[in-house]
Every structure is written in structure tokens, then in C-alpha cells.
Amino acid sequence: MKVLVINCGSSSLKYQVLDMTNESLIAKGLVERIGLGGSVLKHEKVGAAEKAVIETSMKDHKEAIAQVIAALTNKDYGVISSMEELGAIGHRVVHAGEKYAASIIIDDTVIKVLEDCVELAPLHNPPNLLGITACKELLPGTPMVAVFDTAFHQTMPAESYIYALPYEYYEKYGIRRYGFHGTSHKYVAERAAAILDKPLSQLKLITCHLGNGASVSAIKNGKCIDTSMGFTPLEGLVMGTRSGDLDPAIISFIASKEGKSADEVINILNKESGVLGISGVSSDFRDIEEAVKSGSERAILALKVFAHRVRFYIGAYLAEMNGLDAIIFTAGVGENDIDMRELITNELNRLGIKLDLVKNKVRGKETIISADDSKVKLLLIPTNEELVIARDTYALTK
């Protein structure tokens, strides 16, 4: 059975087609500038010499998905003869609130629940829903599954997810820690168990998803017991452009000093802060590392602050789990940034965490990077959220 995986952003759409008989990727693509003019679809058939680039007007997600369908069935660069060949569609959905702790087949009730969750994820759930409705209209006979970023974290105990606010805000508005990047944390935890050749149910793991957005999770005996992102993906680690944790009183202080509204300040915390804000250079770690080479003190500081916060969470989760078997690095920075992995794990020897500086000189490859005598294993595991979505979709619809 072939599965189409769709990840809709506000003006973009990423997709993959996987053949679930052997979990192989057969095509992938990206649509950009949906509804903005200059829309473009870049489609790649695995094994083909070049990408197909389709530049045509796509005024909404429905038109974009119609173009994806045309590309998938194109006689030159398509991968299926008709859409009937597609067994199911898996949609990445960011927020399911407390409603779903696992992936689910999409029906009208699920769509209604996701609409109710829009206020919890106003930037993410609306485009996810647009993708779902467009597929429903264009491919009414194809079953669809929603796979949630928040689902994996639903196992957290209340002491991890309750904020110390008046309890009624949790009851009335659902204000609590939800956590994100769940499919990634889940995938790398399962891969870690396979690499370590131990059941996940007997392992204490800390998974570090360090990309543009970044989060750390504590996974004890296969269950997430804590994670750094919170009510929104703004909490926790310092990120590319997001501040992560800070004293909430800073928000009204900046608002009054700069004559801004709370929403405007939150926008700054989301888009102009993080390593970009500290370094003044870029949100991309490659640019910041270039700036370090030319002596930028603020670039050096940005990297140190980032590493400090990751270490801070590693220490906290080690204590929460009363022990640790492995730390996993994944996503853009975690998979590729050799120096950052070194900066994070430096001087943790007394905790039984010892990086092998030579083994660490690797990018984007599933491998062990700790020293042989390190009590805690350090693993590099490239994430694969699409595969998790395809697997769940296949399992629920086959």
C-alpha cells in the first residue's frame, strides 16, 4: 500500500509518498508561496535525475493539492498511475489539545475537535485543517489519518504539565504544558532502543530535537514524562528565533518601555529572539559559526547560551528520571553541528557522559558518538517524522 504524507504550513506544503510494503520513499516535494503569487511546486521522484519544477498559480491549499495530485500521476515524473493506488493519506497536525493521545482516522468529529483546538495553535492548526479539507474534497474516497505533534507527550504526569497558576485557568482554558515535536521524539527514542538493543520499556532517555525550533524530552520506560516546550512552542530551549524560557514579567516591562502591546512583544519573542536576537547575525547556526570565526563576541555568546540551556534541561531530566541510559541528538542542529554537540556535552564526565571527539565528527548519520567507557550513551539519530506519520496511517487503515 502507498501512503501520501502531507504537512501543510500557512503558505507551504511538504509531501512524501511511501510504499509501505517496504517503507521506502518513492517521491517527495514541496509547494511554496501558496496564495502569495509566484507559487511553485518542486517534485522529486526518487531515483530520477532531476526534480520537476511546476510554476503555476495556486491560490489556496486545494489548488496546491490538485497540483500535487497531477505531479504524482504525471506520466513522466509521477509515481502512481491513478489516485486509487494511494491507500491512505496521513496529515501532520500540530495540536490536539488533551483530546487525542494517539493518531486517529479523520472523520467529521475529528475535524470538529481540531477546529476547537485552533485557539491553542492559531498559527499551525488552520493550515493543517485546510490540507485536510482540500484532500477530503479532491479525494473523497481515500481514508485520512491525523498524526499529532502533541500526542506523544500526553503521557506526562500532572506535576510536569500543570503550571503554577490559578487551577481554574487549566480547567476553563486548557492552559497547561502540551509539548511539541512528539513524532520526532517518539521516532528517535524507538531507534535508540533498537541501536542499544534493549526494550524501550527499560530505558531512560533524553531526546534533544535541535532544529530551528528545539525541544528536549525525558522518556522513561517508553513514556514521555516531561518536555521543554509548553502551552505553545515558545517555551523551553533557546531556539533560532524564539527566546525559550524567560521571566514572564519581562513581557510587560518591554511593552511599557517600547510602547508595544503584549501580542507585539510575544511576536518579538517568537521571531526576533533566540540565537538570532543574541548574535544579531542569523537564526542559522552555520551563519553564526561563520561569525564566530571572524571574532563576533555576540555570536560566541549566542552559541554558549544555547548550549547552556540544553545542558540545563539534560541536568533537570537526569534528576527527574533518577538516572539515564542515553542522550539522543536529532534535527538540523543536532544532526549536523559537530561543535554544538561538543559544547553541550563538554564537562559532563562526572555524570558519566563522555563524548568521543573523533566519533562525533559526523553529520546526518545514525551512530553512537560517546566514548566506549561512557556510562551514558550519546547517539546521533536523524529524525524521520514522515515515516512515523506513514506508519501510523498505514497501521490504522490497512
- Give the residue numbers annotated as catalytic, written as ranges: 149
Contact residues for 319 (Cβ-Cβ < 8 A; gap 6+): none
Contact residues for 290 (Cβ-Cβ < 8 A; gap 6+): none
Q: Of residues 128, 279, 336, 397, which one binds ligand ADP by CB under 6 A?
A: 336
Reduced to 3 states, what is the DSSP secondary structure of residue 212?
coil
Site string for ligand ADP, 266-285 (x = CB under 6 A): ------------------xx
> Helices 125-138 & 108-116, crossing angle to 10 degrees?
160
Nearer to ligand ADP (CB atom), residue 213 or residue 236: 213
Cβ–Cβ under 8 Å, residues 289 and 224 = no
Q: Of residues 112, 198, 286, 304, which one binds ligand ADP by CB under 6 A?
A: 286
What's the closest the beta carbon of residue 77 comes to ligand ADP, in angstroms?
25
Residue 8 touching ligand ADP (CB under 6 A): no
Count of positions on this chain that bind ligand ADP (CB under 6 A): 12
Q: Of residues 156, 205, 216, 333, which one binds ligand ADP by CB under 6 A?
A: 333
Nearer to ligand ADP (CB atom), residue 44 or residue 284: 284
Q: Of residues 74, 155, 212, 367, which one binds ligand ADP by CB under 6 A?
A: 212
Cβ–Cβ under 8 Å, residues 141 and 89 = no
Cβ–Cβ under 8 Å, residues 362 and 380 = yes
Which residues are paired to 206 by β-bridges? 218, 327
Residue 211 touching ligand ADP (CB under 6 A): yes
Going across the sheet that includes 52-55, the strands are 52-55, 40-45, 24-32, 13-19, 2-8, 86-93, 144-148, 104-105
Instruction: Give the Cα separation of 2 and 127 in Å (integer).
Output: 24
What's the closest the beta carbon of residue 212 comes to ligand ADP, in angstroms?
3
Q: Which residues of 231-250 are buried (b: 16+ CB within 10 A; e: fewer)?
A: bbbbbbbbbbbbbbeeeeee
Q: Which stretch binds ligand ADP (CB under 6 A): 50-58, 172-180, 330-338, 368-376?
A: 330-338
Nearer to ligand ADP (CB atom), residue 212 or residue 270: 212
Nearer to ligand ADP (CB atom), residue 116 or residue 284: 284
What's the closest the beta carbon of residue 285 comes to ligand ADP, in angstroms?
4
DSSP state of 282: -
Cβ–Cβ under 8 Å, residues 188 and 330 = yes
What's the closest the beta carbon of residue 100 comes to ligand ADP, in angstroms?
23
What's the closest the beta carbon of residue 302 comes to ligand ADP, in angstroms?
11
DSSP state of 214: E
Residue 240 touching ligand ADP (CB under 6 A): yes
Name the residues that contact ligand ADP, by CB under 6 A: 211-213, 240, 284-286, 331-333, 336-337
